[in-house]
Chain A
Amino acid sequence: MHISQFSLRDFRNYQRIDLQLAPGITLFYGPNASGKTSLLEALFYLATTRSPRSRSDHDLVRWDALGEAGVLPFARVAAEVQRRMSHVRLEVLVQRRADEEGQLTNGAQKLVRVDKRPARALDLVGQLRVVLFTPVDLALVDGPPAERRRYIDITLSQLDPRYVRTLAQYQRIAQQRNSMLRAWRERRRPLRGIDDELAYWDQELSQAGGFLLAERLRAVAELNQIVGPLFCAISGETNPLQISYQASLELDDARTAHDLSQRLSEELRRLRQDEVARGQTLIGPHRDDMSFSVAGIDLGRYGSRGQQRSVTLALKLGEAELMQQRSGETPVLLLDDMLSELDTQRRTHLIAAIRRPAQQTLLTATDLGDFGAAFLAEITRMRVEGGQVYPG
């Protein structure tokens, strides 16, 4: 798939831009803080309804956006997405909220439209599929587990609408369940009714959790097929990369959603006292992790910096490949200032990967000197400066 048209209004430092994009490679270049990353952020937001950099949506609205008479300031991101057999128009409005005095608050509401029809945010996810690769991702291998869960969740959410919905539901159930466990830990509630009161939440958590686990295990198995050899090609090493899913509970060979739910539910019952003592849900997809190893050596712990970069690059290209295999369409690659972070060998590999036909890639850079003349001759260039984007 590719984005053919893309417009922003009052998004970050952009007042209003409207761009026509071609398949193939488009390079956005310009000085630091000119808004290159915001372009990729807007597209990631349109694909996932989440910003990769800020937690609160109101940050996305340009700071001096005025709105119109009687309308609170809002940011708008819209794009036309061309798929193999169809096309779709996506639009998200992020509108700031005001308190009763009319002062803007830190709240914001999201309005989503798909082909001009109002839709739920969850229904937007998966319409446009992207793989974002930024310098922050280089911490994927040795960073905190939450980063690795995010990687697999974002990939699967874009591929399967059921995954997004189940994940949202799972998080809600875990929150409710945690607040009950906290109440027991702090002796705010009598302990005697505990099994009865948890029965529903255990059942729902196991059911949603079993589905998420089964999907993640399946994705890891598929990724291993892709990423193993890809890593060898990128790093020049002979042993393939192996991803292992580290579940927070003993899986005992359970692989189907049904069996995994069963396992979760058994373990939840067994851990009752520990969970009450800690006041939180101790097992489930929200506590799982993944590890990366080559020839049995854990790269998170013992890998060199270069190896860790090769892993991240393989994971990101692998993510794109997995999306292609499952859906038959190539996702849009968004590379934020990545080439300057990689050495010559890895850079050559990345450039070869994005040069494939039918692959749309949007990349940012501060310096055109990172690229060879031959490369620059065959791509589209856009100069970014002062909240404007100019061709050439």
Chain B
Amino acid sequence: MRPESAIIVEPVARLIEELSKLPGIGPKTASRLTFFLLRAEEGQVQALAQALLAMKEQVHFCSRCFNITVAALCPICQDTNRDQSKICVVEEPLDVLAIERTAAYRGLYHVLHGHIAPLEGIYREHLKIDELLARVRSEPVDEVVLAMNPNTEGEATAFLLLRDLVPLGVRVTRPARGLPTGGDLEWADPETLGSAIHGRREL
């Protein structure tokens, strides 16, 4: 225990300790937040506490696609207007948001919750891979889009999925890799430019 914690009253010290467990927040930031909340209006603190509890109580993983949701199924899985024949596989829930923002995809999703990374001890059994295969077997799926991150770990994950998916007789695709809109050809890194040239298409 640090000497100053004897001077700070217990409830304040406890909040500082809890806040400093959060990522990106050290003891200094935690104290600043604590003293801000100490002076804040009762209503604001209530709202924050309730928001935290409600988030934890109500939010869980969608039983079908493992996206985050408050119901049994996430809003996307519930939406019967979406194309039920396509599943886009992503690493994290935030990737779903990124793809949704494009408004270019109207099918369903499947969130793996990570990628293969032996260095960090993450193997296929830690990901929602078997759940995906079960869905492909039981749902009317004709295309699976593998939208992993284009790095070594993402590629390793896609490689594994491809091998498991092909025997199921489903079409497997990957998003094209290419040049950013508004970018400058001259300044594109050779790898990206190379794969863009490689994946060029007929106009």
Contacts and interface: CB of A to CB of B under 8 A. Distances in A.
Interface of A: 99-102, 117, 120, 123, 161-162, 165, 169, 172-173, 175-177, 179-180, 183, 189, 196-197, 199-201, 203-204
A142 B124 CA distance: 45
Given A161-B190, A173-B152, A204-B152, A179 B118 contact: yes
B17 to A, nearest CB: 14
Contacts of A162: 190
Contacts of B18: none
Given A99-B26, A161-B190, 5 more contacts: A100-B28, A175-B119, A176-B119, A177-B118, A179-B121
Interface in B45-59: none
Main secondary structure of the interface of A (DSSP, over half): helix
Contacts of A101: 26-28
B71 interface: no
B118 A102 contact: no
B39 interface: no
**Chain A to chain B: the 3 pairs with minimum beta-carbon distance, closest first:** A100-B26, A200-B159, A180-B118
25 contacts: A99-B26, A100-B25, A100-B26, A100-B27, A100-B29, A101-B26, A117-B187, A120-B189, A161-B190, A169-B152, A172-B152, A176-B117, A176-B119, A176-B153, A179-B121, A180-B118, A183-B118, A183-B121, A189-B123, A196-B163, A197-B123, A200-B155, A200-B156, A200-B160, A203-B159
A179 B152 contact: no
A280 to B, nearest CB: 13
A120 B189 CA distance: 9
Nearest to B124: A197
B41 interface: no
B101 to A, nearest CB: 25
B4 interface: no
B119 A179 contact: yes
Contacts of B153: 176
A162 B121 CA distance: 30
Contacts, number: 49
B191 interface: yes
A161 B152 CA distance: 19
Given A161-B190, A173-B152, A179-B118, A102 B28 contact: yes
Interface in B114-171: 117-119, 121, 123-124, 152-153, 155-156, 159-160, 163
Contacts of A197: 123-124
Which of B26, B124, B156, B191 lies at the interface centre, i.e. has the most chain A CB atoms within 10 A of its CB? B156
Nearest to B20: A100
Which of A99, A199, A200 lies at the interface centre, i.e. has the most chain B CB atoms within 10 A of its CB? A200
Interface in B83-126: 117-119, 121, 123-124
Nearest to A123: B189
A311 to B, nearest CB: 35
B183 to A, nearest CB: 12
A199 B159 contact: yes
Nearest to B187: A117
Contacts of B156: 176, 200-201, 204
Contacts of B118: 176-177, 179-180, 183
B162 to A, nearest CB: 10
Which of B20, B152, B159, B187 lies at the interface centre, i.e. has the most chain A CB atoms within 10 A of its CB? B152
B138 to A, nearest CB: 23
A101 B153 CA distance: 33
Contacts of A102: 28
Nearest to A98: B26
Contacts of A161: 190
Contacts of B26: 99-101
Contacts of B124: 197
A180 B121 CA distance: 8
B152 A199 contact: no
Contacts of B20: 100
Nearest to B153: A176
A183 B125 CA distance: 15
